Structure 1
Amino acid sequence: MDYKDYYKILELDKSATKDQIRKQFRKLARQYHPDVNPNDPEAERKFKEVNEAHEVLSDDEKRQKYDQLGADWQRYQQAGGASRGGTGGGFDWSQYAQGGGQGYGGFGGSTGDDPFGGADFSDFFSSMFGGMGGGQGGARPRPGQDYQAELELTLEDAYQGGPRTLTINDKKLRVTIHPGVEDGQTIRLRDQGGPGRNGGPAGSLYITLRITPDARYTRTGQDLTLDVPISIYKALLGGEQVVETLSGPVKINIKPETQNGTRLRLRGKGFPVYRKEGQFGDLYLRLALTLPQQLTNQEKELFRQLAALRE
């Protein structure tokens, strides 16, 4: 039977802490979860390996036993892979093997009880840990499955924040969006995932926010850019113009002889800074000259006169 390198499976060093093991497990479990990778046998295989590795390394007793086996495994291989229960080459497999072929806590088969949707544990795992906690009385509490969801917002929604409602597994949830959220940002709702096992806590719900592109504004962090069309007459002669911002209309002054593409900066008129009340980015106005169309004969003559004066 093949040796399972659980540290390599979780992409961790042997010195990894329990907190690092837990975080890496949740990351990889979400990455390879069958719901995220439907009809993908390779992702399903990796998902089961990750679940099995976490089952061992998150438990102090199992981890200690596994680490002890790892130190002796090289001798075991050099002895030609002594059969289970044998002592070839000075390696006594029986001190590690538990027998029974059942998964830990009664979910080694396809029972659907494990917190990430059910996983078949390998013969390697069953040989070492099949007898540990096999009865219901020895089963440890397990957290429930984490759920994933997406919530679509407009730019105005992300600017203003406020309550939103979404439905997960036929259950309506009310979520408060703080102003200034980013596209792709994830928020966590504790205890809104799958139910825990053997008295364990419920999982969490991770909501990824998707902000739809806005036809008017370009967002860069907390700064916004807005194209503002102005007439050629106002660009030449100057004047006032009202600009609609996300916080309401603002009156700006156009200087005489303003060039096309000129940028103006409105401090504090950009996007809210996330979770920092009263702080905002800036709004940059990019002035775009618009040319008159369908000129009358009189207008054309006036432009000819102006052109002649500039020659």
Structure 2
Amino acid sequence: MDYRDYYKVLGVEKTATPEQIKKAYRKLARQHHPDVNPNDKGAEQKFKELNEAHEVLSDPEKRKKYDQFGADWQRYQQQPQGAGRAGQSGGGFDWGQYTQGGGDSGQFEAGEDFSDFFGSLFGNMGGRRAGGSRPGAGPDLQAELELTLEEAYHGGPRTITVNGRNLRLTIQPGVADGQTIRLRDQGGPGRNGGPNGSLLITFRIQPDARYARTGDDLTQDVPVSIYKALLGGEQTVDTLSGPVKIKLKPETQNGTRLRLRGKGFPVYKQPGQFGDLYLRLNLTLPQNLTAQEKELVQQLAALRPAEE
């Protein structure tokens, strides 16, 4: 019976944290899942090996026992097998200290879900005895959902297709680009009656030509004619919640920033709360001046000769 290097199966170091082990398992499980690789016996076998490695390394008790056993494996292989009592080889190596059930490693079998190595090492604690099988949770699946900025602003129902299944979900207003939500029980199927995994949906917000988003705040460029900037007046501004009228003071300078409170993005899962909308005023110059307009501009320039 060959030693199984569970760390190598998951591609992690022996010093890996539980979070690193979980991340590595999820990545590889998605890659080799039977639903993704139909009729691929190699992927199916790899998926079983990943589940077995994760079963051990994600459980602190099993991992400790496995690490202790691994250090003695070479010594165990070098002993004359069959010497001494069952579960104990020659030279005093006690196989029974690692196996479940008083050292009789032969009474356990791993069956189709776990290897003989797993069954010999953990026995009943591993979840497989005499053809029985321990339920296990299914793998988590991942998907992405693209939204426009307005769709992220308003939220609402959407349908997403994952592995041929149409799932309807309600998006909360204010979701951010790169934000991930979890739909429990919508992932890969559990094994042996275990619960399904989760579906992790990551939102991708498409860039918007009108607004730049920073957290829950928005910034918008607003063109303003030079006449309105000089003399002041009202200007209508489009916002995601509808048009708003603003008042411009006389002699408003180019690049002036105005703040509209509560006209930004909704705060996620906090109904009634919104960020702010910042307006950046950009003065526009008239083009294709008539002869009369040019003359009037020249007269204005003559009145303020000291300015350049």
Equivalent position to 2:304, from 299, 306, 310: 310
**What residue number does 2:23 align with?**
27
Q: Paired residues, what number?
A: 284
**What residue number does 2:78 align with?**
82
Deviation at 1:129, TM superposition (A): 4.9
Give me the whole-angstrom Cα distance separating, in 2, the residues matched to 1:136 and 1:180. 53
**What residue number does 2:53 align with?**
53
Q: Is the 8 A contact 1:82 1:88 kept in 2?
A: no
Deviation at 1:31, TM superposition (A): 2.9
Check if 1:260 corresponds to 2:223. Answer: no
Deviation at 1:148, TM superposition (A): 1.2
| TM-score where L is the length of structure 1 | 0.76
Q: Is the 8 A contact 1:4 1:124 kept in 2?
A: no
Return closer, same or farther for 1:9/1:195 CA change in 2, 3 Å cut-off: same
Give me the whole-angstrom Cα distance separating, in 2, the residues matched to 1:306 and 1:127. 97
Instruction: List structure 1 runs of 4+ shifted beyond 6 angstroms.
Output: 11-14, 36-39, 44-49, 99-102
Q: Is the 8 A contact 2:180 2:200 kept in 1?
A: yes
Q: Is the 8 A contact 1:269 1:280 kept in 2?
A: yes
**SS in structure 1 at match of 2:207:** coil
Greater C-alpha radius of gyration: 2
**SS in structure 2 at match of 1:225:** strand
Which amino acid counterpart does residue 192 of structure 1 have in structure 2? Q
**Deviating more after overlay: 27-36 vs 89-98:** 89-98
Which amino acid counterpart does residue 82 of structure 1 have in structure 2? Q
1:160-179 matches, cutoff 5 A: 160-179=154-173
User: Which runs of no fewer than 5 residues in structure 2 stay unpaired?
Assistant: 38-43, 84-88, 100-104
Equivalent position to 1:191, from 181, 185, 198: 185
1:1-311 matches, cutoff 5 A: 4=5, 6=7, 21=18, 24-33=20-29, 35=31, 51-58=51-58, 62-63=62-63, 65-69=65-69, 73=72, 82-83=78-79, 85=81, 87=89, 90-93=92-95, 96=98, 98=105, 104-108=110-114, 125=118, 128-129=121-122, 134=128, 137-311=131-305
Q: Is the 8 A contact 1:180 1:273 kept in 2?
A: yes
Which amino acid counterpart does residue 113 of structure 2 have in structure 1? F
**What residue number does 2:102 align with?**
none
Which amino acid counterpart does residue 30 of structure 1 have in structure 2? R
Which amino acid counterpart does residue 178 of structure 1 have in structure 2? Q
Which amino acid counterpart does residue 146 of structure 1 have in structure 2? D
Q: Deviations over 1:195-216 (max 9, x none)?
A: 2111111111111111000001
Return closer, same or farther for 1:99/1:82 CA change in 2, 3 Å cut-off: farther
The CA RMSD measured in Å over matched residues stands at 3.7
Q: Deviations over 1:49-73 (max 9, x none)?
A: 7644321144577446425425x53
Give me the whole-angstrom Cα distance separating, in 1, the residues matched to 2:191 and 2:45. 23
The share of aligned pairs that are identical, in percent, is 65
**SS in structure 2 at match of 1:138:** coil
Which amino acid counterpart does residue 32 of structure 1 have in structure 2? L
User: Which runs of no fewer than 5 residues in structure 1 stay unpaired?
Assistant: 109-120
